[in-house]
Amino acid sequence: MLALIVLGVATQRVFIQSADPANPVLLFLHGGPGMPEFFLAQAYPTKLERDFTVVWWEQRGAGVSYDPSQPLVTLTVDQLIADTVAVADYLRDRFGQDKIYLLGHSWGSFLGIKVAAAAPDRFAAYVGMAQVAHQLRSELLSHAYMLDAFRARDDSAMVRKLEAAPVSLEDGMSDAFLRLRDSARHRVGSGTTRDMASVITGVFLPVWRCPAYTLGEKVNLWRGKVASRRALWTEFLETDLTTQVTSFELPVYFFVGAYDYTANKDLALDFFARISAPVKGFYLFRQSAHSPLFEEPDRAREILLRDVLGQTNTLADQT
């Protein structure tokens, strides 16, 4: 089901999947910035709609919420935090639930953990999948990992490309690395999913095949991705969340892939150790890269049902 939500002058759209609208509401914050993931749920079914009312919100400026008439200056982190709270309030009212569940993936975890800290009264728990801690530092570690991986493969051509595409905390991420990073990560099994060979076959083509979007919406999805990155990327890359949000008034859970070198798993674990929350749990998905929910859906569903709904951490690797 596609639903429309009007927030001020901006119309936002959500896809809703549910076997029973009385089930707990789970609001999914997609990655990017500006990269919706409803198409991934079609390619990698999670089955969460059996137990939750799953809301795939396409954020301001992204996917089916993309509106070229909206000025780029309105696309800010603060505005998206306010949008998330407003969408949560709409869902709480629509489904008659005092609190809902919030799950953020990658960029969505950057946004989501800020929302969880700012508005804990709206949410029963927060789940960060591929939880971002400090994305520039993660990119630096990813660059080093891929250099080692391609050297071990004797892939001198890729090694030369990576050496010519530097990343540093002082100078940031070069344009050359930004162009190279996704294809390189997928070649070493540390991209969107462990088994995804390329962004062309794993992301680009599935978007075009997804029946949920019209042709115009598919075009706008890519337009929104470009616009969102232009507006949000620098703040996303440079912000060290471990110095901003460490105290929470609701349960906090991290779902992290063992092969994730997009949002570095060790940085996520260090961030987790700094967090105080009524309940917290860190879950390492040993067969996953950047998307544990899509890669190991049965384990993710078990954790959500037992620990997150139960507000405990019995299945956690770290507490």
DSSP string, 234-291: HHHHH-BGGGT--B-SS-EEEEEETT-TTTTHHHHHHHHHH-B-SSEEEEEETT-SS-
Q: What is the pLDDT of residue 96?
A: 97
Cβ atoms 306, 314 nearer than 8 A = yes
Structural domain ending residue among the three candidates 157, 188, 219: 188
Terminal C-alpha separation, the chain? 37
**196 domain residue, yes or no:** no
Report the C-alpha gap between 39 and 49 in whole angstroms: 15
Q: What is the pLDDT of residue 149?
A: 95
Query: Do 126 and 43 fall within a single domain?
Result: yes
Query: Do 232 and 157 fall within a single domain?
Result: no
Proportion of the chain above pLDDT 90, given as a percent: 79
Q: What is the pLDDT of residue 204?
A: 85
DSSP state of 307: I
Instruction: For 234-269, write each residue's pLDDT tens digit.
Output: 999 999 999 999 999 999 999 999 999 999 999 999
**193 domain residue, yes or no:** no
Mean local confidence (pLDDT), 198-208: 85
Q: What is the pLDDT of residue 208?
A: 87
pLDDT surpasses 90 at 274: yes
Give the residue ranges of DSSP H helices in the chain.
38-43, 77-95, 107-118, 135-152, 156-163, 175-187, 199, 205-209, 215-238, 265-274, 292-295, 297-303
**234 domain residue, yes or no:** yes
pLDDT surpasses 60 at 9: no
pLDDT surpasses 80 at 73: no
Report the C-alpha gap between 316 and 319 in whole angstroms: 6
Report residue 6's pLDDT band, with 50, 70 and 90 as the boundaries: low
Instruction: For 275-317, write each residue's pLDDT tens digit.
Output: 999 999 999 999 999 999 999 999 999 999 999 999 999 999 9
Please name every residue paired with 173 in a beta bridge, in sequence order, or none if there are none: 167
Please name every residue paired with 282 in a beta bridge, in sequence order, or none if there are none: 254, 318
Structurally, the chain folds into a number of domains equal to 2
Query: Do 130 and 267 fall within a single domain?
Result: yes
Report residue 210's pLDDT band, with 50, 70 and 90 as the boundaries: confident
Q: What is the pLDDT of residue 10?
A: 66
Instruction: For 33-72, write each residue's pLDDT tens digit.
Output: 999 999 888 889 999 999 999 999 999 989 888 888 877 7
Mean local confidence (pLDDT), 140-168: 95
Q: What is the pLDDT of residue 2?
A: 52
Q: What is the pLDDT of residue 150?
A: 95
Report the C-alpha gap between 243 and 134 in whole angstroms: 10
Query: Do 177 and 275 fall within a single domain?
Result: no
Looking at every residue in the chain, the average pLDDT score rounds to 93
Q: What is the pLDDT of residue 63?
A: 86
Report the C-alpha gap between 229 and 219 in whole angstroms: 16
Question: Domain of 106: which CATH number?
Answer: 3.40.50.1820
pLDDT surpasses 70 at 3: no
Q: What is the domain range of residue 22?
A: 2-135+203-308
Q: Whose structure tokens read 């490309």?
A: 161
Residues in the chain, how many? 319
